[in-house]
Structure 1
Amino acid sequence: MNEKTGFSLNGYLMALILAVVIPISALNLNPIWSASVLVSLIILALALGCLAGFFMVQPNQAKVMTLFGAYVGTVKTNGLRWTIPFFMRKNISLRIRNFESGKIKVNDNQGNPVEIATIVVWSVTDSAEAVFEVDDYESFVSIQSESALRNMASSYPYDPQEDEGIALRSHPQTISDSLKKEIQDRLDKAGVTVHEARISHLAYAPEIASAMLQRQQASAIVAARTRIVEGAVGMVEMALEQLKAQNVVELDEERKAAMVSNLLVVLCGDKHTQPVINAGSLY
């Protein structure tokens, strides 16, 4: 069911018309003023009944109108409005709202349990679908957002893997775009538009948090050590080339190996090395 514009008139204009019709009809009830009392009585009754047709539309709100169970349209024009008194009118907000889900536990695509939560910014854009297609559109948004969050979180790893670059922790914008699309696909039938969806909480579940922290620390240590070794090898290579180019000293293979070993110990060691002065000859 798609939204359509309902019938309504300017309320101030209608109030002015009734302000003229009602007194005249009331005066015509006196036989001295009119020959047809019955007609004046009917006009007065209709005019008084029209008073029930006034309603107010606040900014960024709408009135969904039905007639004996049939949808007849939606009024979004702000201010005082008037419509047929038999129309039933239900108020619905078109304002942008925030929804924050609770922390839910879900397994990522590596099977690791994680805690995740999201913030969804949404608004109603089709009042007819929001009112008639779902029983409670606010509850529908809440439940479907959490369902989409579970499905999205199980499609990506928590940390980036070598064979898959996108991860929950390392690609927040990509994850947000994926989550927004996932939620929007589920809420289209409810006349709701998702403006933004972002992860508000992301962490490993408590039962594996300490183990995963150790793994992250180990990965960081390995990465740092790799960079140190790469730099140390480059420095040793540069030192040997400069010694050879400047003819400072000629080293055989055995002493080159000893020099490389000593330099690598100095450059790659966790602690400061103690220098030892060689007081003997060259060999």
Structure 2
Amino acid sequence: MNTTTSQTPEPEGPARPPIRLIQNEATTEIPVHLLFRDEPDPRPVPLGPAVVGSRQGTGEQPRFRRPEPAKPRPIAEVDPALVEQPGRVLPGVAGVAAGTCGAVGCVATSWWAGVLPPLVVEALRLPVYGGAGLGPAQWAAYTGAVALGMFGFGGLARGRTGQAWVLDMFGRYRGTVRRTGLLWVNPLLLRRRVDVRLRHWRSEPMPAADGNGVALRVVALVVWRVRDTARATLGVEDHETYLRECVEAALARIPVEAPGSGRGSVEATGEALTRRVARDAGAIGLEVFAVQPVRVEYAPEVAAAMHRRRIAALDAQHRASVLTSVVDSVEDTVTRLTMRGLVELDDYERKALVKDLTVAFCAGRGEQTP
């Protein structure tokens, strides 16, 4: 009798959690086949609506800012109060008179003190006087006479046509003098001479580019003058340097077409350059009448590349013409030989003859070419 013994399975205890290698850190299992996958998964990935998570603790959805429109570039401005105004001057006669009075005062004080030489007394026909000596009154008279003479003669100036003076006292603008002739200007004022004539400036080769971005070198002729002397002198450190930089910036922004390109005219480019430079330079009191490119050439590196390209094109054209003439000569020779019955050639012999004639003609052409 077979007896079957049934074994009762032992009750299993509660499942133990996996042991973490790093304490207090949660790990995520990643399938191995995803780590070593080289090719993209051919199975389509279902796309679902994007969910934007809410902020912790508030439940408020994040707000997206719309892009703000770009603000226009501000135009350079100078202090609005800095405007040219006429300076206060006197005719030169006033300065001459004041200086003469100072000189006469010095002579009179010397005669009064008795220190005037006898020869000067006789030359001036002054009465003989023993003199009161050099006392406080005499020194005060000397001081006043010398100050009057220096103040009168020191303020004399000559105004020229096409020139102006910008007057400045202790850092404050005091006016502009455009008058000509002999004038008297306060000697305490700082005078800066400014050329207000119509001037032209020929620039050095400046970097530019054409419509395709090819580098160029442009020499520009600028016709300009100083319209507001106060802004041109006090509104910027050096108005001539500022004008040069305005021209260089305009050439960097406006495409200049090379001569012979056929894509634009020099007149249109000059008008565009004139408008931009006049707008930028007008803020400091400069009046620009014309900015014309007088010489446009390719940059050295571009010119070298174009020269090599042109030489290669000419060489290829020459080779093509030589090859065409050689082929025509070979064809004419073979045709004449076969038409007149001088030779009877099969395909192999014809190919060999064409090959030999081609080599001979090309060698002859090569010897003729210098």
TM band (smaller chain)? 0.5 to 0.7
Which residue in 1 is equivalent to 2:69? none
Separation in 1, partners of 2:216, 2:310: 13
Select the residue among 266, 275, 290 that pairs with 1:172. Answer: 266
Instruction: Check if 1:198 corresponds to 2:278.
Output: no
**Deviations along 1:189-209, whole A, 9 cap, x unmatched?**
222111222111123441464
Which residue in 1 is equivalent to 2:250? 148
* Between 22-31 and 199-208, the greater mean CA deviation after superposition: 22-31
> Would the aligned equivalents of 2:105 and 2:142 in 1 still touch at CA under 8 Å?
no
Which residue in 2 is equivalent to 1:49? 150
Separation in 1, partners of 2:290, 2:160: 25
Instruction: Check if 1:19 corresponds to 2:100.
Output: yes
Does the C-alpha gap of structure 1 residues 183 and 212 become closer, same or farther in structure 2, counting only changes over 3 Å? Answer: farther
Separation in 2, partners of 1:104, 1:71: 36
**Deviations along 1:141-195, whole A, 9 cap, x unmatched?**
11211211222226x787445xxxxx1xxx2222222111111111112221112
Deviation at 1:38, TM superposition (A): 6.7
Separation in 1, partners of 2:215, 2:143: 73
Matched letter for residue 173 of structure 1: E
Does the C-alpha gap of structure 1 residues 104 and 211 become closer, same or farther in structure 2, counting only changes over 3 Å? Answer: farther
Large movers: runs of 4+ above 4 Å: 31-34, 36-39, 207-214
Which residue in 1 is equivalent to 2:331? none
Separation in 2, partners of 1:137, 1:94: 12
Deviation at 1:3, TM superposition (A): 1.1
Does the C-alpha gap of structure 1 residues 212 and 75 become closer, same or farther in structure 2, counting only changes over 3 Å? Answer: farther
**Deviations along 1:209-251, whole A, 9 cap, x unmatched?**
459989xxxxxxxxxxxxxxxxxxxxxxxxxxxxxxxxxxxxx
**Deviations along 1:43-96, whole A, 9 cap, x unmatched?**
413312312212222211111111111111111111221122211111111122
Q: Which has the higher helix share?
A: 1
Separation in 1, partners of 2:178, 2:193: 10
Does the C-alpha gap of structure 1 residues 212 and 15 become closer, same or farther in structure 2, counting only changes over 3 Å? Answer: farther
- Structure of higher RCO (CA pairs closer than 8 Å, 6+ residues apart): 1
Instruction: Check if 1:95 corresponds to 2:197.
Output: yes
Q: Which has the higher strand share?
A: 1
Separation in 1, partners of 2:310, 2:277: 31
- Percent identical residues: 20
Separation in 2, partners of 1:212, 1:186: 40
Deviation at 1:14, TM superposition (A): 2.6
> Would the aligned equivalents of 1:49 and 1:85 in 2 still touch at CA under 8 Å?
no
Matched letter for residue 27 of structure 1: A
Instruction: Check if 1:7 corresponds to 2:88.
Output: yes
Matched letter for residue 44 of structure 1: A
Separation in 1, partners of 2:175, 2:209: 45
TM-score by length of 1: 0.62
Separation in 2, partners of 1:179, 1:96: 19
User: Which structure 1 residue ranges, 5 or more long, are not aligned?
Assistant: 162-166, 215-283
Separation in 1, partners of 2:221, 2:206: 13
Instruction: Check if 1:63 corresponds to 2:165.
Output: yes
Separation in 2, partners of 1:56, 1:207: 56
Separation in 2, partners of 1:21, 1:52: 12
User: Which structure 2 residue ranges, 5 or more long, are not aligned?
Assistant: 1-81, 114-128, 312-370
Separation in 1, partners of 2:220, 2:310: 23
Select the residue among 161, 177, 193 that pairs with 1:75. Answer: 177
Cα RMSD of the aligned pairs, angstroms, is: 3.0
> Would the aligned equivalents of 2:160 and 2:181 in 1 still touch at CA under 8 Å?
yes
Separation in 1, partners of 2:85, 2:310: 56
> Would the aligned equivalents of 1:6 and 1:75 in 2 still touch at CA under 8 Å?
yes
Separation in 2, partners of 1:212, 1:198: 30
**SS of 1:173 mapped into structure 2:** helix
Separation in 1, partners of 2:202, 2:275: 17
Aligned residues: 204
